[in-house]
Amino acid sequence: MSYILKAVKLDGIRGINQEIDIQLNKALTILHGPNGTGKSSILQAIEWCMTGEIPYMRGGDFTREDAIVNAFTRTKRARVELNFSGPTEFTLVRRKNRTRSTTSGKHQLSLKSDKLYEDDKAENTLIDLLDIDAEEIPRSKFLHQETIRDALTYKPSDRSAVIEKLLGTYDIKEFTKAISQDRRINSEIKAIDGTIEALKRDRIQFILNLRRSLEQLKKQLLEKGYDDKKLNSGYGITQIEENRKKIDEISTRLNIGKLIHPEISPDINSLIETNKRLQDDLTSIDRERMSALQKHQTKIVVLQSAVDSYRSALDHFKDYETMDTEALENKKEKLEMQLREINQKISSIQRTLTLFPPRISSYENAKDNYEKEREKLENILKEHGDEDQIADKIIEIQEGQVKVQEDLKKFSGRQRIVNLAVDLISHTKQNTCPVCNQNIKPEILVQQLNSQVSTDISAKISELNSKLSDAGKELGNLRTVEDQVSSLRSSIKFSLSKFEEEKTRLEELIESKIIETNLNELSALWEDEITSNQKEFEGINSEYLEIEEKLKQRSFLLQQIKQSKEKLHNELKVKIEGKKLLDLAENKIQTLDREKKDYEKTEEIDDIRGSVQKLTEILDYLQDEQRTQDAEKELPTLTKQLEDLETRKTSLLHLSGSLGSIRKMTTEYQKEASIEQIRALEEMMNEYYSAILGHPYFHRLKIDIEKQDPLLFSFRAASDREATYIPTRFSTAQLNVAALSIFMSNSRLMKGQLPLLTLDDPTQSMDDIHKEALAKLVSTLTDDFQVIIATEDDETRDYLMTHCTDKTCYELESWDASGPEISTFSDQ
Amino acid sequence: MKIKLDFISYVESRLPRDDDKELFKHLWELYNKEGPDEVKEAINELIKNLSEA
């Protein structure tokens, strides 16, 4: 005897936000209603209560929000109660409080039969009572909308996943995928290999190279003649101390000053520093030595120069000691005056000589100009008479002009009268003369007047005009002459004045009257006078220069004696003079020369420098030796690091091998289990497939392994002669039929003590024929199974109501914040 | 959910080394409790530990 799910009581789960109590039919229960009214929530609640999970609600958003507990429920918890009847009656209750962040939060399970079981014990009791594996419950009792939807997709991996879920191998495949981490492991191994390689190359090889270089350096030092026994810090300390002593001795001898030496430490770096300090001391001493040498050299040169100068000046001055400088100064002054006078004289004559040619030229030009203008005036007066005569002529011409103008006026009047008479006669044509009343012929008269009378008058007028013109011209000429005479008289007056002026200037220059002087001889006379004065100047000047030279030489020697003596006094810090001063200076020069020779010696400094240099090489060697030894101390650590890395690498390889072995086994299992399951399912699956009217030609379903690693299944359909991929030939309805067939055969195989089938929207995409075929199949299934179907489809509901005898139908009509409204549907 | 016993015994019986068996059991248990992402994370952690030990 099996178990029946009698009733389900649920509150605050998924779309259900109030307590609902649904009594289930032992054969068929239909949950019908539009989308979103809570049908699937009821089926999900049953599954959740039995398994603690709702498939398809894992990962993604479901890890961030609680999808189990209803958002509007007052109790803030989900509770599902299932009542089972059968060999024993029991009640299964699962609860979960709302959490803010996840779907898979903590929940409690209790099973009450003859006693109460909690959590794991409740789960184990349920499994024992129903006689079915826990993992088989979801795939054998609950056909989800999503399962059908995934079966209908065109993505092979999703279709394969549907098969795997129905076969119960989906988790094994997911597990196999999850442990496939070869790429990550290989990447880590590669990184470790890189580190090992770098350690070997950069550190260990570096240390070995250090040791090799050290040996090479030692060999070179020995070849240079260094003693092997001296290659230690003790020798370094002794050598530094010896060199210090020598440096101090030199320093004292050269009077350079005491050097300060730091304490000697046996540490190599400290010895190197101390030895370097010695090099600095040597450089410093050498610099001081060079400076002292330079100073001595300068001082010797300065003293010697002063001595030479002093001695020379003293020797020469002996010649001037008896000289009467006062008499010589007086004589020099007198000569100087004479020279000045001669010079003035020469300058004066030279000035006259220079000015004479332009002055005489100006004088002659002025004279010439004056004479020419006077001659010109005389010629005009000769031709036209004097100014009074010219004035009389002008008056006479002007009177003549007046008379001619009066005649011209008279004849012009006559001509006007003739012209008027001609006009009158021409117009009046009179036959009588208006003057003499004689008979006339007007045409002849006009002709005579025009030709004879008018011609005579015109000739007279022309003659008068000509006279007038001639008189004008003559008058113009006389006025011009008058102006010329006036202008010449003014010009002559000016020329005479100029001539007188130039004459005076010339006479002033030559200091005599022109009339009494022969101007042509003057230049030669003056030049002779200059020559004579110059000769006299040279004679006096020679005597003057001789006196001046003597006085200058004496003064120079006195200055030289004074300066060189002062220099020697300054250098020697004494106030003596003469031979005593010279002897003292000579002695000082000899002393300085001896000291200079001491400063010139560099052998000792060079020796110490050589010693310091050799010690530098030894200390460098010792420093390298210490570095090498320090580095070699790292070797065990490095070896340990390498061993650790090798161990890590081995562990990773081991892990890789382990995961590879596990993967191989899980894949093999999946394959074997799938094949076994498919074989078990295939016949049953095809019974259902035929019953729900599968493909008319491809009347058998097959499940094939499409790919081995990772395993990929494919639905195929076969006729007696050929097989085909379902998606290429099947309608979506036929694909749905195939998925239902697999599920129902699975359910039959894993029925256990609970022959329960829940189908969520099983007829999606089906036509009426297939819906009715499914309804008919369900009617036969209810003999062995308790079936719960959720559907939104009216035809499906109607076919089920028609073909199934024992059934209950609930209508879920609407949903709001207060929960779904449920009523019982009746086909009566 | 109980671990599928024939799967576990199938794999265990074919793994030659004991530590491989232990590893498999541990990972399969983790998969059943936490899912595939946790298994991946656990292996990554193990790789990290082995790499940086």
pLDDT tens digits, A447-499: 888 888 778 888 889 999 999 999 999 999 999 998 999 999 999 999 999 99
- Tell me, what's the pLDDT at A690? 79
Does the pLDDT of residue A31 top 90, yes or no? Answer: yes
Question: Residue A58: what pLDDT?
Answer: 61
Among partner residues B19, B37, B52, which is closest to A658 by beta-carbon distance?
Answer: B19
Q: Which residues pair with A77 in a beta bridge?
A: A97
| pLDDT value, residue A59 | 55
Chosen for mutation from A48, A171, A640, A676 (greatest number of chain B CBs closer than 10 Å) is A171
Sheet containing A142-143, strands listed edge to edge, beginning at the edge strand earlier in sequence = A142-143, A756-760, A786-791, A28-32, A807-816, A819-825
Q: Report how far residue A679's alpha carbon sits from residue A379's, in angstroms, rounded to the nearest whole number.
A: 173
| Closest chain B residue to the Cα of A195, Cα to Cα | B51
Q: How far apart, in whole angstroms, are the C-alpha atoms of residue A563 and residue A12?
A: 128
Rounded to a whole number, what is the distance in Å from the CA of B22 to chain A's nearest CA?
10
Cβ-in-10-Å burial (0-12, 13-18, 19+) of A105 comes to: middle
Q: Identify the pLDDT of residue A57.
A: 67
Q: What is the pLDDT of residue B43?
A: 94
Task: Give the one of B23, B37, B53 whose C-beta lies nearest to A662's C-beta.
Answer: B23
User: At residue A56, does pLDDT exceed 90?
Assistant: no
- Minimum Cα–Cα distance from A175: chain B residue: B36
A155-164, A525-534, A781-790: the lowest-pLDDT one:
A155-164
Residue A548 has pLDDT above 50, yes or no: yes
Does the pTM exceed 0.80? no
* Mean pLDDT along residues A158-164: 78
pLDDT greater than 80 at residue A566:
yes
Q: Do A181 and B7 touch (CB under 8 A)?
A: no
CB-CB neighbors (< 8 A) of A52 in chain B = 1
**Which pLDDT value is given to residue A817?**
66
Lowest mean pLDDT of A150-164, A192-206, A460-474, A585-599, name the range.
A150-164
Mean pLDDT score, A11-16: 82
Cα end-to-end span (Å), chain A: 33
- Spatial contact of A237 and A203, defined as CB atoms under 8 Å apart: no
Q: Cα–Cα distance between A384 and A730 in angstroms, integer?
A: 159
Q: Is A731 exposed, middle or buried (0-12, 13-18, 19+ CB in 10 A)?
A: middle
State whether residue A158 is helix, strand or coil.
helix
pLDDT surpasses 80 at A733: no
> A77-85 and A20-23: which strand pairing?
unpaired
Greatest mean pLDDT among A420-434, A658-672, A708-722: A658-672
pLDDT over 70 (residue A144) = yes
| Chain A neighbors of B35, CB-CB under 8 A | 58-59
Residues of A in contact with B20 (CB under 8 A): 658, 661-662
What digits encode the pLDDT tens for the residues A259-282? 888 888 889 999 999 999 999 999
Do the beta carbons of residue B16 and residue A657 sit within 8 Å? no
pLDDT beyond 70 at A655? yes
Contacting residues of B for A185, CB less than 8 Å apart: 47
Measured between beta carbons, which residues in chain B are less than 8 angstroms from residue A51?
1
Distance CA B12, CA B14 (A): 5
Predicted local distance difference test score (pLDDT) of residue B1:
31
DSSP class of A819 = E
For chain A, the average pLDDT equals 87
Exposed, middle or buried by CB within 10 Å (0-12, 13-18, 19+), for A88? exposed
The per-residue pLDDT for B2 is: 35
**Beta-bridge partner residues of A811:** A32, A823
Stretch A564-588: mean pLDDT: 93
* In chain A, % of residues over pLDDT 90: 48
Residues of A in contact with B52 (CB under 8 A): 648
Searching chain B, which residue's CA lies closest to the CA of residue A662? B24
Provide mean pLDDT across the span A763-785.
87
Give the CATH H-level superfamily of domain A4-132+751-825: P-loop containing nucleotide triphosphate hydrolases (3.40.50.300)
- Longest Cα–Cα distance of chain A, Å, equals 200
Domains of chain B by residue range:
5-52
The CB density around residue A499, as the number of other CB atoms within 10 Å, is: 20
**CB-facing half-sphere around the CA of A257: CA atoms within 13 A:** 11
Cα distance between residue A502 and residue A507, in whole Å: 9
Which of A701 and A195 is assigned the larger pLDDT? A195
Among A397, A399, A404, residue whose Cα is nearest residue A476: A397
DSSP string, B2-28: ---HHHHHHHHHH--SHHHHHHHHHHH
Residue pair A662/B25 in contact (Cβ under 8 Å)? The answer is no
pLDDT score of A813 more than 90: no
**Across A27-49, average pLDDT:** 90
Contact across the interface for A191 and B39, Cβ inside 8 Å = no
pLDDT of A664 higher than 60: yes
Q: What is the mean pLDDT of residues A809-825?
A: 78
Q: Are A789 and A800 in contact (CB under 8 A)?
A: yes
Tell me: the pLDDT tens digits for A105-124? 677 888 998 899 998 899 89
A178/B39 touch (CB, cutoff 8 Å), yes or no: yes
Angle in degrees, 0-180, between the axes of helices A635-691 and B18-34, rounded to the nearest 10 = 60
Q: Among partner residues A175, A669, A673, which is closest to B31 by beta-carbon distance?
A: A175
Contact between chains at B23 and A659 (C-beta distance less than 8 A) = yes
Quote the radius of gyration of chain A (alpha carbons, Å).
Answer: 77
- Residues of chain A with pLDDT > 70, as a percent, come to 95
Is 80 exceeded by the pLDDT of residue A697? Answer: no
Cα separation values, A207 from A175, A199, A410, A566, A622, Å: 49, 11, 155, 75, 16
Q: So what's the pLDDT on residue A431?
A: 80
CATH number of A330-517: 1.10.287
The rounded distance, in Å, linking the Cα atoms of A124 and A133 is: 10
Residue identified by tokens 């580095």 is A631
Q: Which ranges of chain B have pLDDT less than 70?
A: 1-5, 53
> Does the pLDDT at position A819 exceed 70?
no
Q: How far is A127 from chain B (nearest CA, A)?
A: 10
Beta-carbon separation of A659 and B11 below 8 A: no
Enter the tokens of residue A407. Answer: 């005649």
Tens digits of residue pLDDT in A378-434: 999 998 888 889 889 999 999 999 999 999 999 889 888 888 888 888 888 878 776
pLDDT of residue A736: 77
pLDDT at A608: 94
| Interchain CB contact of B33 with A (< 8 Å) | no
pLDDT value at position A355? 93
Distance CA A23, CA A9 (A): 9
Please provide residue A8's backbone torsions phi and psi, each rounded to the nearest 5 degrees.
-130, 130
The pLDDT of residue A250 is above 80: yes
Q: What is the pLDDT of residue A140?
A: 82
To the nearest 10°, the Cα dihedral for A736, A737, A743, A748? Answer: 170
Per-residue model confidence (pLDDT) at position B3: 38
Q: Which residues of A touch B (CB under 8 A)?
A: 51-53, 58-59, 127, 133-135, 168, 171-172, 174-175, 177-179, 181, 184-185, 188, 191-192, 644, 647-648, 651-652, 655, 658-659, 661-662, 665-666, 668-669, 672-673
Domain boundary assignment for chain A: 4-132+751-825, 228-318+561-626, 330-517
Cα(B50)–Cα(A650) distance, rounded to whole angstroms? 9
Q: Report which secondary-structure segment, H or E, holds A713.
A: strand A712-718
For A813, the 3-state DSSP assignment is: strand
The closest CB to that of B14, out of A177, A181, A665, belongs to A665
CB pairs under 8 A between A and B: 93
Between CA A113 and CA A89 the distance in angstroms is 6
Within 8 A by CB and 6+ apart from A203, the residues are A634, A638
Confirm if A173 and A670 have CB atoms less than 8 A apart: yes
Closest-CA distance of chain B to residue A185, Å: 7
